[in-house]
Amino acid sequence: MNNQMTFKEKEIKLFIKDLSGLAERLRVCGADNTRQRRMEHNLILDTSARDLEKGARLLRLRKDDRVRLTYKDNAIIEGGVITRTEIELTCDDFSTARMLFEALGYQATMIYEKYRREFRIGDVVVTLDELPFGNFAEIEAASKTLIEGVAQMLGLNPGKGIKTNYLGLFKIAKRNAGLSFNDLTFENFEDVRLSADDLEVDPADE
């Protein structure tokens, strides 16, 4: 494990109806496509008693073209913009990292998948996410003002910022749609169609 980073993450998450339209607006605005579309496979790690979840903390092991371990806590929400502490480091091997945490008493409590593309406009990072239950954009920058400015430039309403993460949205979807499965995978959602109302979100591109 190496390349540790600790910082305050500041971002807004928005539900998007027309992801291809947003990608085109990013191109017109001169954004650099810094990471091409790729699948992410994520494991949420916790104790058997779900101690991290109960404390509103997150420990995640992610694999795409690299392997990263991420810890998040201390979330503060201001006008849809979420600020939280994030500690992240890269790992050499996904399976070995998982075995290490299982030996320490942690286990994979949930699997979730998504496709992600990443763009950059100056110092602002915009990611386009395709999840099994819908499409989203995340805008990350050093300040709330910068995040909201880029959102408006892209024709998005920052007032529609979602006040939870993808795991929180999954819980809402399970409750409203009566879903019984535990993992947020494309296979599980193959025959499931959810609306913005099911997720209790409003599209930011309307």
What was the pLDDT predicted at 4?
Answer: 58
How does pLDDT run across 6-55, given as a tens digit for each residue?
Answer: 567 899 999 999 999 999 999 999 999 999 999 999 999 999 999 999 99
Contact indicator for 81, 162 with CB cutoff of 8 Å: no
Task: Report the 10 Å Cβ neighbour count for 48.
Answer: 9
Q: Name 179's bridge partners.
A: none
Helix (H, G, I), strand (E, B) or coil at 89: strand
- The predicted pLDDT at position 2 comes to 60
Strands 67-78 and 124-131: unpaired
E-strand spans in 79-161? 81-91, 107-121, 124-131, 134-140
3-state secondary structure 129-175: EEECCEEEEEEECCCHHHHHHHHHHCCCCHHHCCCCCHHHHHHHHHH
Give the phi and the psi of residue 17 in degrees, each rounded to 5.
-85, -40
List the structure tokens of 169. 């949205």
Q: Where does 2-199 sit in CATH, by number?
A: 2.40.320.10
Angle subtended at Cα 129 by Cα 162 and Cα 14, rounded to the nearest 5 degrees: 20
**Rounded distance between C-alpha atoms, residue 136 and residue 134, angstroms:** 7
pTM for the complete prediction? 0.91
pLDDT by residue (tens digit) across 57-88? 999 999 999 999 999 998 898 888 999 999 99
201's tokens: 């979100």
pLDDT per position as a tens digit, 86-120: 999 999 999 999 999 999 999 999 999 999 999 99
Domain boundaries, given as residue ranges, for the chain = 2-199
Token pair recorded at residue 186: 């494309």
Distances (CA, A) of 109 to 18, 60, 80, 98: 32, 10, 27, 12
Q: Determine which helix (DSSP H) or strand (DSSP E) holds 26, and give its type and residue range.
A: helix 19-28
Q: Is the pLDDT of residue 1 over 60?
A: no
The one-letter amino acid code at 115 reads: Y
Q: Which pLDDT score, from 0 to 100, does residue 5 have?
A: 60
pLDDT in tens, 131-185: 999 999 999 999 999 999 999 999 999 999 999 999 999 999 999 999 999 999 9
